[in-house]
Amino acid sequence: MSPSTFTTPPPKLQDAKISFPAPTILLINLNRPDALNCISIPGHYELQALYSWFDTEPSLRVAILTGEGRAFCAGADLKEWHEANKPHAPASTQERVIPASGFGALSRRGGKKPVICAVNGVCFGGGTEMIINADIVIAERHAVFGLPEVKIGVVALAGALTRLVRTVGRQRAMEMALTGRTVPAEEAREWGLVNKVVEKGESVNEAIKIAEAIALTSPDSMIVTREGIKMGWEGIGAEEGTRLLMENWYGRMDKGENMREGVASFVEKRKPNYVPSKL
């Protein structure tokens, strides 16, 4: 797809590249393979701009994040951090604030549309923080996960610690975060961090299959359904979450074209012809 296909062009990227395996799917490749796809401070803001564009671009439905080379993402750029913290480092290099959306603009992202992580290898530190808050995670069999921050005197502060316990439970979260040990893909799947484990080189293909299945659904229904799950994930009670969905989302959805089209297609026994969401 060319930029002219979109209502606005995608942002320019230095440390990542994008492609479109289907008209509705955005594929993001972290592209610092020599640095194991560690993300620098400018890289976080590049990705934040990209996800913001993705959420507002009507034709796109699902994003997939993966990495070039043998790593998905090995975390923060520690060389950058080390240089910034030298005694006589310029003040301009000492500002290390990442966006509110977190590490890689994903570890604390709310967003409107789903992101699937296709983990193709090493996934440490911020890489693991990103997958913990992703919507779906596909991992290759040789992939490994970890939060090794405690081993080097830092802390995983991009949202992983409080979210990890909701997925894997207190004891597993404590073991993973306090020891910093490596968790293989199959164990991560057993713990609930990973949806599916596939063979080497197949994570993106599997993610595309799932993204295509999501893209067949009503774009309005997908956005509101995801919002409901996010509310539960963030600790909103079942009754309160349902009330918020009804008051803030359902009325707009009920008046939209896609709900009418979905019901009509079912009654008429045909495939639905959905339009981009206006929610």
Q: What DSSP letter does each residue of 203-269 carry, written as one string?
A: HHHHHHHHHHHHHTS-HHHHHHHHHHHHHHHTT--HHHHHHHHIIIIIHHHHTSHHHHHHHHHHHTT
Do residues 178 and 172 make contact, with C-beta atoms less than 8 angstroms apart? no
- Contacts of 153 by beta carbon, 8 Å cutoff, 6+ apart: none
Return d(Cα 222, Cα 217) in angstroms, integer: 7
Q: What DSSP letter does each residue of 93-108 carry, written as one string?
A: HH--PPPTT-GGGTTT
The separation between the first and the last C-alpha atoms of the chain, rounded to the nearest angstrom, is: 24
Taking only the tens place, the pLDDT of each residue in 10-28 is 999 999 999 999 999 999 9
Q: Does domain 3-215 have CATH number 3.30.450.40?
A: no
Taking only the tens place, the pLDDT of each residue in 45-63 is 999 999 999 999 999 999 9
Given a cut of 90, whether residue 157 has pLDDT beyond it is no
DSSP 8-state class, residue 23: T
| Average pLDDT in the chain | 91
Identity (one letter) of the amino acid at 166?
A: R
Domain-wise residue ranges, the chain: 3-215, 219-267
Catalytic annotation, residues: 129, 149
Given a cut of 60, whether residue 33 has pLDDT beyond it is yes
Confidence of residue 154 (pLDDT cuts 50, 70, 90): confident
DSSP 8-state class, residue 247: I
* Token pair recorded at residue 237: 């009670």
Given a cut of 90, whether residue 1 has pLDDT beyond it is no
Taking only the tens place, the pLDDT of each residue in 77-120 is 867 765 556 566 555 544 568 899 999 999 999 999 999 999 99
At 87 the pLDDT is 61
Query: Any idea how long the chain is?
Result: 279
pTM of the predicted model as reported, rounded to 2 decimal places: 0.91
